[in-house]
A and B are shown apart, each in its own frame.
Chain A
Amino acid sequence: MNEFSFAQNFSIIALNTQRSLLLSNEKRVILRCIAAAVILEIYLNNKQDETLTLEKKDLVRSSIEIYQIPVLNAFLGKNETVSHTLPYFLAEVTKLSRKVLKEIEQAFAGSLKEVKAIEEIEALLGCDYLYVSAGITIKEYRSRADLYTRLTESLRAEILEEGEMTEEALLMLWLLRESGCLHDLFSKEELKRVAARSIELFNRHPLAKKLFPIFIHRISEMGIKNFLKLKKEIMSMPTGTGIAFVFPAIERTESVFIDTEEFFPSKETRLHDVKARLESHGHHFSIIRNGAVPLIKVDNTLYEAVPSFINYEVVIHGVRLRRYPLSL
């Protein structure tokens, strides 16, 4: 079994389903968190002193990981050595330029692709009827399913279970909060437990006390992210889902439409056509629950396949995919 480092573990979780060719707002936030994960990894390995010292000579050491180099270079600049507290370094990741973020992405994606921990595939949105008929290809990252499950589920176990939590889990919890990935891993009910656990940790552990008040985001980006989050939340509510069905352009990624061959398809035909389309685009497909609205797992994400249709000159019957919270 391959063991990955702390920063690599976080990037396997965070890069999953991110567009690979585009530096979106969401991916910028995630790449900053990956840079923070590198700093936290160095902090964990350096006996956890109050101040953290980065040195230029670290870059030529054999123990240095390739993915750490762009982050260390960005912090060191022309200096031989940089010494500050952990909160200072973490706050500094917000100032990383687009160029550095791209370098970080390449370093992480490259090292993880080499060991087959992630791969680049056609995006789920590329399976949508409109994209297929227009011949548009969109690429995204997909983490290896078994690895992703092991990582996320062991993290869920540590956070949701009573008892002592490891330092890695605490740091990961903060990174997930800052990168906005918490909603991908926990259901609404579980998030209440996560919030209670965070408060408990904040009151008890010095590391949580130091870390939890730090926010690594830019106000403008957070504004956009909050707007998108709000939009996504509204679209996930019963009324919102209805609106997304009528106006899919509002939240395109949450409303992938897959057309069926038959005019009035049965539930079996629908599912068969969805499976064929997804697999032809290189996605892993498995059925979790059967029925009129089946629950399916595409790569590492759960969706409900809701029967639907779109109105053009003729009516096109098919299925819309609706995101389902991970926990079952």
Chain B
Amino acid sequence: MSRQRSMEKILASEFVSIGELVRLTGSRYSTLKFYTEEGMLPFEQESENLTRRFPREKAIAKIEEIKKLKNQGLSIPEIKMILAKNL
């Protein structure tokens, strides 16, 4: 069992866990889990211990984009369509 990573280390690493993504963005865990299940957030599945690893920069940019679109009053299906087009 390892220690929690410091914010410095998290900010320097390429991949982060969902818990660290919550610490970075301040979003709710259930919200990020929902975005992941809906395929709105990019991640890599580690087969060994089943953890999902998120590319830090890409995931944060995506969350910011979703937040911005939500503030514009768009629904989740609409946001999903826009994100799919931007790919």
B6 adjacent to chain A (CB < 8 Å): yes
Known: A161-B51, A162-B49, A163-B50. A154 touches B29 (CB 8 A): yes
- Cβ A163 vs Cβ B6 within 8 A: no
Interface residues of B in 38-56 (CB under 8 A from A): 46, 49-52
Judge whether B85 is part of the interface by a CB distance below 8 angstroms. Answer: no
CA distance A157 to B30 in the complex (A): 8
- Interface size counted on chain B using CB atoms at 8 A: 25
With contacts A44-B3, A170-B1 taken as known, whether A163 is within 8 angstroms of B49 at the C-beta atoms is yes
Q: Is the CB of B30 within 8 A of A162?
A: no
| A216-B49 Cα distance, complex, nearest whole Å | 33
Q: With A and B bound together, what is the CA distance between A157 and B7 in angstroms?
A: 17
In the complex, the answer to whether A150 meets B26 with C-beta atoms within 8 Å is: yes
Q: Which of A146, A156, A165 contacts B1, CB < 8 Å? A: A165
A167 and B28 within 8 A (CB): no
Bound CA–CA A155/B28 (angstroms): 11
B75: A residues at CB distance < 8 A: none
Categorize the interface residue count of chain A: 20 to 34
Query: A169 and B4: CB pair below 8 A?
Result: yes
Instruction: Determine if A21 is an interface residue (Cβ-Cβ < 8 Å).
Output: no
Quick one: which of A157, A162, A167, A327 has the most chain B CB within 10 A? Answer: A157
Q: Is the CB of B29 within 8 A of A153?
A: yes
Residues of A within 8 Å of B18, CB to CB, are 157, 161
> What would be 25 A-B contacts, judged by CB atoms less than 8 Å apart?
A1-B7, A3-B6, A44-B3, A149-B28, A150-B22, A150-B23, A153-B28, A154-B22, A155-B19, A156-B30, A157-B17, A158-B19, A161-B33, A161-B51, A161-B52, A162-B49, A164-B2, A166-B2, A167-B2, A167-B4, A169-B4, A169-B19, A170-B1, A207-B1, A328-B28
Q: Which 4 A-B pairs have the closest CB atoms?
A: A163-B51, A157-B19, A157-B29, A168-B4
Contact surface of A with B, Cβ cutoff 8 Å: 1, 3, 44, 146, 149-150, 153-158, 160-170, 205, 207, 327-328
Known: A149-B26, A164-B2. 6 other contacts (CB 8 A): A154-B19, A157-B22, A157-B29, A160-B29, A161-B52, A162-B49
